[in-house]
Structure 1
Amino acid sequence: MSTIQSSCAYCGVGCGVSVSSTQADWDHTDVSSLTLVGDNQHPANHGHLCAKGERLLDSLVQPNVLRYPVLRSGKPINWDEASSLIADKFAQTIAQHGPNSVALYLSGQLLTEDYYVANKFAKGYLKTANVDTNSRLCMSSAVSAMQRAFGEDVVPGCYDDIEQAEVIVLIGANTAWTHPVLFQRMLAAKRANNTKIVVVDPVATATAKQADMHIAITPGADLALFHGLLGYLAHNNHVDKDYIAAHTEGFDETVVHAKQLSEDINQLAKQVGVSATTLNQFYQLFIQHKHVLTASCQGVNQSVIGTDTTNAIINCHLALGYVGKTGSGFFSLTGQPNAMGGREVGGLATQLACHMGFADGERELLANFWCVDSVADKKGLAAVDMFDAVADGRIKAIWIMGTNPVVSLPNSSKVAKALADCPFVVVSEITPDSDTAKLADVLLPAQGWSEKCGTVTNSERTITRQRGFIAAKGQSKADWWAISQVAQKMGFAGFDFANSASVFREFAALSAKVKQAFPHKVFDLSGLQHLSDSEYDHLAPTQWPIATAEQIGQRGGRQFTRGVFATPTGKAQFIRPALAKTNEASSPHVQVIVNSGRSRDQWHTMTRTGHIASLRASIPEPVIRLHPNMLATFSVSDGDLVTLESDVHTAASPVALARVVTDPDLLPHMVFMSMHWSKQFSLGMGVNQFLDNRVDPVSLQPGFKFQTAVIKPIHLALQGVVFGHHDPAAQGLCWQVAQTLTSGICHHIGFRSAQDGFAFQASAHSLLWSANVNGQRVHVQCNMEKGIAIAIKILSSARVDLALEPMNAFIGQSVDKSFIKKLHQQINAGNSPLICACTGVTDAQIADEMNAQFDQQSFHDGKQHVQFDKALDAMQSSLGCGRQCGSCHSEVTQCAQQHWQQALTYIDAEYSTEEDVA
């Protein structure tokens, strides 16, 4: 068996993976012959993976894969025709409307080599900086804050700080779900070193439930919290005055503002939304401990004050003198596997390659290196502005690579219309099924994760080789290759790259030139510019900066350790935040605050994970999580369907459709809906279609968080599930969600008219009957061909809970009396929710095991000696749930506690009865 080391395709942790094959010839490897585990030699994960990472191989078998270039008409063409068409259209558009009439929209899923060639093509040869990336949607506020404070987009710390910290503060980061491997390291540090974990989040998330302290702030109050902390530190004379004087600027102006905020701790606590006691306890952690590590994610970044909030956090560490020190400082948790690699090569419209800006000297250096007369002379349009420009006709040709903006951007309905009306749209994708791919004039087959070769950079600045292990199928090509073909068709020199290694060498050589010209910059790949193809192929995970080849393989490094920063003066900058409000009430209706984010087991717009049965099982439909106290306010019940729409709703405004799930962990007047859903999977589409496109004024990152909306109930006459054959265009369907099962696909459906529901798929060869199932009237329809079941429809006036996999097993069976009896038994059996995606353990299995453990406990004088922790450990040892990637640990614990408490209540009731009788 042979093994290839590569990197995970998901988040910015950058986990290493080991892929092994039983076949000797990798070029003809069959997926069924492969096994995948975490790479125990990789510094990011030491062999651990999350549930999504463990199922990477499942993501390779896509329902529909793009294998050749195709036109919007559906006509397939070859690569020569496709690249000529793109070159001609881009050249004609620029000739008629100028360079800024074209744009590229990229992705943190691309490799660094793809990103580099795309930026060279656009900013160097097309002369436009209209090149942005979906990293704008998740990381740009942290980037802008680090640029303002440190002078450069540099994360000072490393993952090893997790084990060195005395206190870890997570702000707006549900790390247990979004970065499970790192969170397991945090929990291990808590057990081994007594590290305190503090979570700042309005919601009692899975992460907060495992923390030592949860600061449940008012949404949007994290800026006041940390700016107040700076004032608190100053009031208590707990700032490093020598460090501030020697290594920083702007402290005096900033701290005056902060002191004003923190003068009245009771008033500040009220503004933040916590008690004064809690606020003091939190602030004292920074006084009582030297090694405090703060890490933020989308809860901070995806806000119109995200940059200021991040700077407020950084300000506190600068005041303490703890930047670049062991176990302390600010750390940005990155969303995508190569968000940092994309920023290194200038992937954002607001920067040039190697962390350069648009100053004359920087542009001149880049033009000379790329052998062009000039490069783009000013910042381009960031993501939201870019698609606004597509909508109003300023951008007339756009190339989208590896991302799905029709779903992921705010006001996504406007984005869809803009692309539908755009004169020329190119999309590079692995599947034709995404919402964006369906709007392409030219659809190009990109290589998928398992096929492509290059590098990615993770959150701690570690470069990892992405090694393909499956031969590219059909005509799928690397993105850098596709861009190079178009560039050469347009007559541009400098794009005759032989392979990804040659691209990387050029990029590293550019970084050496930049470092030589601007020695204050931290980013440096000089030591990698002379790698041979073989050395590139065997490159070990290496953390930058890399000044010499001897540093290859280095890890665990920190930056700014000596207090010298990448600013013109060498000093870090304190930034005074604006303390702007984040919401604008504008509706007479009862509003809710919308918080969008990720589900535990899914990724982005689900084009990679939505078809994996084990990852879809936990949340099969779009749901809106709502505090139970708010049900009466909106006249809805748990399980009802509702619309989520803008508080300035008009008849033409888009709405999101989802099912209500009560969640006591939310604040009243707050709802949560995951960002994953799209038209590809659901008739109700997704949450982003009604969110407006307000942005942070500094980072230009959209403010997905803390927008207001109105909930309205929808009455369904009939709803249920159809297995087997399905007509997705059936009349009357107002609710439709496709769900992949291990043995096929089912569809969750709903009708406003009962007549439509009964007419759906009815034929001469169908049986329709009704029955009472656990007090609920259920209608069953079975369609047949030659006596074999080809479709089974279950409908009721209320939601029907079914075990989907056993129900789907009836498809293909002979329909007789025995069939109908077994079908009814299965419908009566109901369903048990999935709790652990790694092991497939359900609520019912946990209940059975906890009850078994409970029965083994002893009683004395009518009182039980509760040993819940022991029982929980025994249950997890038996079932394995919550013990693999750990992302479901809090859900497993909560589920176990509920069943344990039920058993306790039952026993208490028994003893009470006996005492009463006595």
Structure 2
Amino acid sequence: MDAIHTTCAYCGVGCGILATPTGGRAVEIKGDPDHPANAGRLCSKGTHLGETVGLEGRLLHPMIGNRRANWDKALDLVAKRFRETIARHGPDSVAFYVSGQLLTEDYYVANKLMKGFIGSANIDTNSRLCMSSAVAGHQRAFGEDVVPASYDDLDEADLIVLVGSNTAWCHPIVYQRIMAARAARGTKLVVIDPRRTETCEEADLHLPLRPGSDVALMNGLLAHCRREGLVDEAYLADHVDVPAGFWNALHTDHDLWSVARTCDVPPAELQRFYELFAATPRTVTLFSQGINQSIRGTDQVNAIINVHLATGRIGKPGAAPFSITGQPNAMGGREVGGLASTLAAHRGFGEQDVADVGRFWAAERMATRPGLKAVDLFRAMGEGRIKAVWVMATNPAVSLPDAGRVREALAACPFVVVSDVIADTDTGRFAHVRLPAAGWGEKDGTVTNSDRTVSRQRAVLPLPGEARPDWWIIKEVARRMGWRTAFGYDRPAEIWREHARLTAYRNDGARLLDLRDRAAIGNEAYDAMAPFQWGGAPFADGRFSTPDGKARLIDLTQRQAEDPLADWPMTLNTGRYRDQWHTMTRTGLSPRLARHREEPLVEIHPDDAAALGIADGKLARVATPQGESLFRVAHSTGQRRGELFTPIHWTDRQSTGGRTGLLPRPLVDPHSGQPGFKMTPVRIEAVTVDWHGFLIVHGEAGAPDCLWATRVTVPGGALFELAGLGDAAALDAALPRGERIEANDPARGTRRVAVLRDGRLVAALFVTRTGELPGRDWLISQLSQPQGLQVLAGRAPGAQEDRGAIVCVCFDVGVRTIVAAIRDQQLADVAAIGAALGAGTNCGSCRPALARLLATEGKEAAHG
């Protein structure tokens, strides 16, 4: 079968994929060399998409409570309960909470139903958690939510500034493009991030600023440019509105020494950054969650944009502020009004916009004001104001801040509907109705990536069971609620054409989002649609989407960073791991993607850990006023003193700990409503356990009942890393049936159990109180293989290579293998490691780690 051109399911880079079905649910994945976003490159997650398309854990039939139902009965019930709730309590008593995993067509239908026909704007999206501060910042500065950059600008920039972005891990293909620019034309790279991440390894400068001091940093940069005569006065006069007194306010407390003190960075390093920026007109400032996920995120976005506007570094090749989104279709959702604060087609809630959209839709009861944003929506649910909610393609019981309260709100809501691909999610457990949605590989529609490129996502596999596309599910409910004509769609192309017409409707050039040239596209042309970028080169003519055509400088004042609290003396930062995605409902199915970071770690500076008695590799309890959770400890000199980092991915389905969502405060940016995940007051303390161990099980298995049990997907089954208090005998309940062979060492408190069925290994349990545990790799490889007593040794007879922790997931290369090759073969650079072992030659996201290993080995050799 020929390869199908589609797009990746993960981040906002929007990579093109060639997917070839190879029989059953198997798919071969390659990068699309003709797609403008990635030119054939894929990161580790995209490379291993084929491992995640099986039906393990899938929701395949509508469910009412715990009973299977047919589609008619489930849809009728959803429509009936929403109708009744609206009739009794008004349209604002219902809500949708949707997702950047939806396609643009799905998003459009959901937005139209809620805002145009139900008559409420209570539809928000998990993209609120990712980039809504960028949206608000764009709207304040430009008059429209437009990203004024393209990936091509990275190729033409002489300086790239990464702010609050671990690009090497979170957007690896963008990072590889940056590295290619450095190699080809000597592009300089500055990374501004409190943590020293892998992205910093090949940077010319890293500024580890104090969290929350980004406005001071950028205000100081702008003040420096002003003092040095680098502000483009002509550009400002012709194209930018400057508030009265802007410059006087800017120069207060923004000299080099004051800014260095506020940001807690060395003045000399700050001066290097300012001089490098000032000397380099072709500068792209690329920013992501570290800027957006703050209670002052919008101001931080506008501080960056201010610098670019004032120096004329916008609308030119290689010069732009560039917000890079987290989700595959966050941008498409923004285009069709997926946020509670906007209407479709980049319109707001002004009287004329409401009238225009209502007229276009022939809407019966248009929403006339913004709805509840994500955090407020679930707070209103907990207070009893939201009485029916429909959650689509997301898991707010894990991902929202103060997730314990979110669960309480879902439990209290009279009617909860969840559309999802997975049968058992943390949110789905609160659902009265669960609807089986199409997953990646089964969907058909469009997505828009971070640089405004629209691509087709095409179905590769047939719909399994009774799963249906999200747009179909939504329109069927709408029709049952009485709006048959307005929701008479039969295919995604019809929805696309309507969306495109709406972007052009009464748009006389006021908005750059204008798809009129695609509004009459036929079904065949839609099916064959090649990637295209809307908006051209935004603002190249100096005209912006404001009434007077001028951009706006935003007057910003720096608030002092919060002082540590006596009971919560440290600061928590949260983020992503390289090979995992959101709450792991997809990536958690891939054995390879599990290898890089098998457990949720709390990263802490070694000096802090020493002062608190927290050992590397042991367990610690991280607590905030909102909640607490356990994490495995990782000492990291890349952490600032007084700060912690935890990943966002683990849920109750994978671990008894690692629940980062329980910890952040439900505080939001006043302009965007985006939660401040990056600065939570926190404390940490060591947790002492009586024993630790692991369990390897063939096939599916439930988690053992103990203090710490983290599930890792492995070939043929699951690995559970374990630790606990008291007697470990309760672990026997997790062992499958079969013949047991066992070895005990009471002196060391060591117990080893193998379970055989028909002579083949189906489980292995290793527990110790004081001793060391064997490696897991050989035992994992023995699952379902014929075994004898030798399995209790935990390793193969004779010598065996210990690969160490996996560094390169694409080629399954461990750290010990890499270090040995560097030493034995005298490898001198990353390319040589690639030639010898393959590591770093596919997606490249491990290249910073390889560079660090080279540097470490070089230092040891110099001292050896």
Identify the TM-score tier after normalising by the shorter chain: over 0.9
Residue 62 of structure 2 corresponds to residue 69 of structure 1: yes
Match of residue 87 from structure 2: 95
User: 2:726, 2:799 → 1: CA distance?
Assistant: 23
Q: Which of 813, 827, 846 is the equivalent residue of 2:818?
A: 846
User: 1:169, 1:149 → 2: CA distance?
Assistant: 20
Q: Secondary structure at the match of 2:198?
A: coil
Match of residue 655 from structure 2: 682
* Cα pair distance change 1:413/1:802, threshold 3 Å: farther
Match of residue 542 from structure 1: 532
User: 2:434, 2:731 → 1: CA distance?
Assistant: 40
Deviations 1:364-401 (A, max 9, x none): 11111111243001110000000101111100100011
Deviations 1:557-612 (A, max 9, x none): 311111111111111111012423453543335x2211100001100110110121
Residue 559 of structure 2 corresponds to residue 580 of structure 1: yes
Match of residue 808 from structure 2: 836
Match of residue 552 from structure 1: none
User: 2:20, 2:761 → 1: CA distance?
Assistant: 40
C-alpha deviation, 1:63, in angstroms: 2.1
Match of residue 9 from structure 2: 9
Match of residue 702 from structure 1: 675
* Cα pair distance change 1:454/1:582, threshold 3 Å: farther
1:620 aligned partner, one-letter code: E
Structure 1 runs of 4+ aligned residues shifted over 6 Å read: 826-831
Contact kept in structure 2, 1:18 and 1:36, CA below 8 Å: yes
Residue 434 of structure 2 corresponds to residue 443 of structure 1: yes
Match of residue 455 from structure 1: 446
* Cα pair distance change 1:761/1:472, threshold 3 Å: closer
Residue 504 of structure 2 corresponds to residue 526 of structure 1: no
Q: From the CA coordinates, give the structure whose radius of gyration is larger.
A: 1
C-alpha deviation, 1:410, in angstroms: 0.3
1:380 aligned partner, one-letter code: G
C-alpha deviation, 1:685, in angstroms: 4.6
Deviations 1:118-140 (A, max 9, x none): 01100000001000001100110
C-alpha deviation, 1:893, in angstroms: 2.0
C-alpha deviation, 1:799, in angstroms: 8.4
Q: Which of 820, 841, 848 is the equivalent residue of 1:890?
A: 848
User: 1:139, 1:167 → 2: CA distance?
Assistant: 24
Deviations 1:844-896 (A, max 9, x none): 21122112113xxxxxxxxxxxxx635x5333211111121111111122224
User: 1:795, 1:110 → 2: CA distance?
Assistant: 44
User: 1:192, 1:828 → 2: CA distance?
Assistant: 42
User: 2:773, 2:340 → 1: CA distance?
Assistant: 48
Q: Which of 133, 140, 143 is the equivalent residue of 1:151?
A: 143
Q: Which of 543, 554, 575 is the equivalent residue of 1:564?
A: 543
User: 1:93, 1:761 → 2: CA distance?
Assistant: 44
* Cα pair distance change 1:107/1:582, threshold 3 Å: farther
Range that drifts further, 610-619 or 243-252: 243-252
Q: Which of 18, 28, 31 is the equivalent residue of 2:25?
A: 31
2:680 aligned partner, one-letter code: Q
Map residues 161-200 of structure 1 onto 2, 5 A cutoff. 161-200=153-192
Q: Secondary structure at the match of 1:184?
A: helix
Contact kept in structure 1, 2:122 and 2:340, CA below 8 Å: yes
Residue 371 of structure 2 corresponds to residue 380 of structure 1: yes
* Cα pair distance change 1:47/1:728, threshold 3 Å: closer
Residue 281 of structure 2 corresponds to residue 290 of structure 1: yes
Deviations 1:202-229 (A, max 9, x none): 1111111111111121122111000111
* Cα pair distance change 1:122/1:213, threshold 3 Å: same
Q: Which of 139, 154, 169 is the equivalent residue of 2:131?
A: 139
Q: Secondary structure at the match of 1:295?
A: strand
* Cα pair distance change 1:400/1:284, threshold 3 Å: same
User: 2:591, 2:2 → 1: CA distance?
Assistant: 29
1:512 aligned partner, one-letter code: A
Residue 743 of structure 2 corresponds to residue 769 of structure 1: yes
Range that drifts further, 893-902 or 533-542: 893-902
1:848 aligned partner, one-letter code: A
User: 1:765, 1:532 → 2: CA distance?
Assistant: 63
Residue 46 of structure 2 corresponds to residue 53 of structure 1: yes
Range that drifts further, 892-901 or 1-10: 892-901
* Cα pair distance change 1:897/1:801, threshold 3 Å: farther
User: 2:583, 2:403 → 1: CA distance?
Assistant: 12
Q: Secondary structure at the match of 1:311?
A: helix
Deviations 1:383-423 (A, max 9, x none): 00001011111001000111111111000111112112211
* Stretches of structure 1 lacking an aligned partner (at least 5 in a row): 23-28, 546-556, 855-867, 909-918
Contact kept in structure 1, 2:710 and 2:721, CA below 8 Å: yes
* Cα pair distance change 1:767/1:220, threshold 3 Å: same
Deviations 1:605-630 (A, max 9, x none): 10110121100011111111111111
C-alpha deviation, 1:275, in angstroms: 1.9
User: 2:458, 2:702 → 1: CA distance?
Assistant: 39
Range that drifts further, 748-757 or 112-121: 748-757
* Cα pair distance change 1:758/1:402, threshold 3 Å: closer
Map residues 633-652 of structure 1 onto 2, 5 A cutoff. 633-646=611-624, 648=625
* Cα pair distance change 1:561/1:62, threshold 3 Å: same
Q: Secondary structure at the match of 2:100?
A: coil
Q: Which of 786, 793, 810 is the equivalent residue of 2:765?
A: 793
Deviations 1:404-460 (A, max 9, x none): 111110001111121122111111111112211222111111001101100000111
Residue 465 of structure 2 corresponds to residue 477 of structure 1: no
Match of residue 395 from structure 2: 404
User: 1:387, 1:95 → 2: CA distance?
Assistant: 21
2:395 aligned partner, one-letter code: N
Deviations 1:260-309 (A, max 9, x none): 132x3212211121222211221112321211110100000001111101
* Cα pair distance change 1:162/1:701, threshold 3 Å: same
Match of residue 879 from structure 1: 837
Map residues 698-847 of structure 1 onto 2, 5 A cutoff. 698-724=671-697, 728=702, 733-754=706-727, 756=729, 766-770=740-744, 778-784=750-756, 789-797=761-769, 800=772, 802-812=774-784, 816-821=788-793, 823=795, 832-847=804-819
RMSD: 2.2
User: 2:136, 2:50 → 1: CA distance?
Assistant: 36
Q: Secondary structure at the match of 1:211?
A: coil
Match of residue 860 from structure 1: none
1:229 aligned partner, one-letter code: L
Residue 264 of structure 2 corresponds to residue 273 of structure 1: yes
TM-score, L = length of structure 1:
0.90
Match of residue 231 from structure 1: 223
Match of residue 205 from structure 2: 213
Provide the aligned length of Structure 1 versus Structure 2: 861
* Cα pair distance change 1:824/1:528, threshold 3 Å: closer
1:153 aligned partner, one-letter code: D
Residue 574 of structure 2 corresponds to residue 596 of structure 1: yes
C-alpha deviation, 1:789, in angstroms: 4.5
Contact kept in structure 2, 1:231 and 1:260, CA below 8 Å: no
Q: What fraction of aligned residue pairs are identical, expressed as a percent? A: 39
C-alpha deviation, 1:808, in angstroms: 2.6
Deviations 1:710-751 (A, max 9, x none): 1022111011101227974755x1111111101211211221
Contact kept in structure 1, 2:778 and 2:795, CA below 8 Å: no
Q: Secondary structure at the match of 2:685?
A: strand
Deviations 1:168-206 (A, max 9, x none): 101001111111111111111111111101111111111
Match of residue 333 from structure 1: 324
TM-score, L = length of structure 2:
0.96
Contact kept in structure 2, 1:7 and 1:14, CA below 8 Å: yes
Contact kept in structure 2, 1:722 and 1:747, CA below 8 Å: yes
Deviations 1:464-491 (A, max 9, x none): 0111111111111111111110111011
User: 2:449, 2:21 → 1: CA distance?
Assistant: 26
